Amino acid sequence: MQISPRILKGFRDSLPDQELIRRDAFFKLEKTFRSHGLVPVDTPALEYTEVLLGKGGGETDKQVYSFKDNGNREVALRFDLTVPFARFMAMHVNKVGLPFKRYHMAKVWRGENTQKGRFREFYQCDFDIVGLDNASADFEILMIIFDALQQLGIDRFTIRISHRGLFNEFLERLGIVSLSVEILRTVDKLSKIGRENTFEQLCNITSRDKAEKILSFISCGDAASDGTIPDTEEILSRLTSLVGFKSDHLSRIEDIFGYMRDSGVSGKLILDPSITRGLDYYTGIVYETFLDQLPGIGSICSGGRYNNLASLYSKEQLPGVGASIGLDRLLAAMEDPQLMNNHQETVPGSWADVIILCMSESYTGFYAKTAAEFRAAGFKAEIYHTQKKMAQQFKYAEKRSIPFAVIAGANEIEKGHINIKNLTNFEEIQDITIFEAIRFMRNGVI
């Protein structure tokens, strides 16, 4: 009895063309993280529901895949990598030591409404520095974002940074810090709903006068009516007068911009007080990253500083700073050829570098030897295993974007020689050694 092969709504298979691109991106990100001294960790996909959601559970609950396992335990699939990391640090802080710098790229699951084009299984890519609270650690995370995106071949992007603590000091001055959660949630929607709707909504939370002051805070980095954009110094001085004193948080921002200048790091970092992030737990710098050519897709890498990662599980205070790359959004954007810089190598869509075609299956030993020599030279070498018509073998290679083919029959094999064909321009060089073929693949001549 046959079963209809199908997958769950909101879930996806990843076919080779897509998976090759994704794994290439993972590889480049991992290389960047490691180059900054970050180390990988892994946590279970399944955890106690209570550990993931806390005693009560909130709005997230309905989205979480939770159930009773065969041992009658309440368990759930992780819905992000932050909560498991908090639990991890509460358990292992003494083993991993502080400061601890880690990355984690793994799947998470949420029973989201798929009509919004959302998926129920997707990757998250998080990196954090835990156990430090200073401008140097803040700056490190920003450098990693710069490096990671440049590694992926993306040159034109801007990190917009602000400071949650500063915003809270400002609300305190206005005497409305108790309303900060609602205010933050409203301000976070600014780019979506526009200035006027934001103002309306703020007026529902606080007085018209204070709503105006909030608007002037978050827009003090905006261009003037004559188009002039204020520089960092100018914004900092405006923020100082709005907050009413030279706050430590302002010095923190100054230090970060100073390090940026001293390091000569290339990349655009802009002070933008409209960045506040909706989430409750940020206490220091917050940032979002936008593609200069595709601002409309929103932030592709966001994060900030928090003062207590593991408060749910431990009395130990664990301050940290981190970011999360929106990998699915970024990979979708990377399909836009305009976005990619010129240094970008060929899209990794080729399934192999060279294919050894099959004149006769009895030559398999020779073909295997040939393939092994190409591999030793660093090439991906595939063998076509059956004696099909040449046209069919070429078609197979073409469909998989394999750029070179080796053809060797009795005459060549007797001498230990091969023929090699460039499948892009159909140039063929006959009766050469494997060493000459490798030179041909590398340099175009033998």
371 binds a copy of itself (CB under 8 A): yes
Instruction: Identify which of 193, 43, 2 has the alpha carbon closest to the alpha carbon of residue 126.
Output: 43
Can you give the length of the chain in residues?
Answer: 446
Q: How far is the CB of 67 from a copy of itself (least distance, A)?
A: 3
Q: What residues between 336 and 365 interact with a copy of itself by CB under 8 A?
A: 351-352, 355, 358, 361, 364-365
92 binds a copy of itself (CB under 8 A): yes
383 binds a copy of itself (CB under 8 A): yes
Q: What does DSSP say about strands 320-325 and 301-306: parallel, antiparallel, or unpaired?
A: antiparallel
Using the minimum distance from each CB to a copy of itself, give the nearer residue, 24 or 172. 24
In DSSP notation, 395-406 reads HHHHHTT--EEE
Beta strands in 115-196 (DSSP E): 121-130, 157-163
Q: Where are the alpha helices (DSSP H) in 60-163?
A: 82-96, 135-151
1 binds a copy of itself (CB under 8 A): yes
Q: Binding residue for a copy of itself (CB under 8 A) from 3, 224, 391, 445? A: 3
| ∠ Cα 367 372 377 (to 5°) | 130
> What does the alpha-carbon distance between residue 162 and residue 271 come to, in Å, rounded to a whole number?
6
Q: Binding residue for a copy of itself (CB under 8 A) from 101, 163, 252, 305? A: 101
417 binds a copy of itself (CB under 8 A): no
Using the minimum distance from each CB to a copy of itself, give the nearer residue, 200 or 280. 280
3-state secondary structure of 231: coil
Instruction: Identify which of 129, 113, 130, 111 has the alpha carbon closest to the alpha carbon of residue 121.
Output: 111
Q: How far is the CB of 193 from a copy of itself (least distance, A)?
A: 29
Using the minimum distance from each CB to a copy of itself, give the nearer residue, 138 or 272. 138
Give the residues across from 68 on adjacent strands: 74
14 binds a copy of itself (CB under 8 A): yes
137 binds a copy of itself (CB under 8 A): yes
Token pair in block for residue 365: 């030993």
Buried b (16+ CB within 10 A) or exposed e, 19-37: ebbeebbeebbbebbeebe
> In the stretch 229-268, what mask flags binding to a copy of itself with x, by CB under 8 A?
--------------------------x--xxxxxxxx---
125 binds a copy of itself (CB under 8 A): no
Backbone angles phi, psi at 64, to 5 degrees: -90, 135
Q: How far is the CB of 302 from a copy of itself (least distance, A)?
A: 22
70 binds a copy of itself (CB under 8 A): yes
129 binds a copy of itself (CB under 8 A): yes
Using the minimum distance from each CB to a copy of itself, give the nearer residue, 3 or 445. 3
372 binds a copy of itself (CB under 8 A): yes
Q: How far is the CB of 313 from a copy of itself (least distance, A)?
A: 4
128 binds a copy of itself (CB under 8 A): no
Q: Binding residue for a copy of itself (CB under 8 A) from 184, 242, 310, 407? A: 310
DSSP state, 409? -
Give the residues across from 53 on adjacent strands: none
132 binds a copy of itself (CB under 8 A): yes
Going across the sheet that includes 74-77, the strands are 46-48, 74-77, 66-68
> What does the alpha-carbon distance between residue 148 and residue 26 come to, in Å, rounded to a whole number?
10
Identify which range of 133-141, 155-163, 178-186, 433-441 contacts a copy of itself by CB under 8 A.
133-141
Contacts with a copy of itself by CB under 8 A: the residue count is 112
> Contact, 333 vs 297, CB < 8 A?
yes
Q: How far is the CB of 157 from a copy of itself (least distance, A)?
A: 18
> What does the alpha-carbon distance between residue 167 and residue 159 come to, in Å, rounded to a whole number?
18
Q: Binding residue for a copy of itself (CB under 8 A) from 118, 385, 415, 442? A: 385
Q: Binding residue for a copy of itself (CB under 8 A) from 29, 79, 81, 88? A: 88
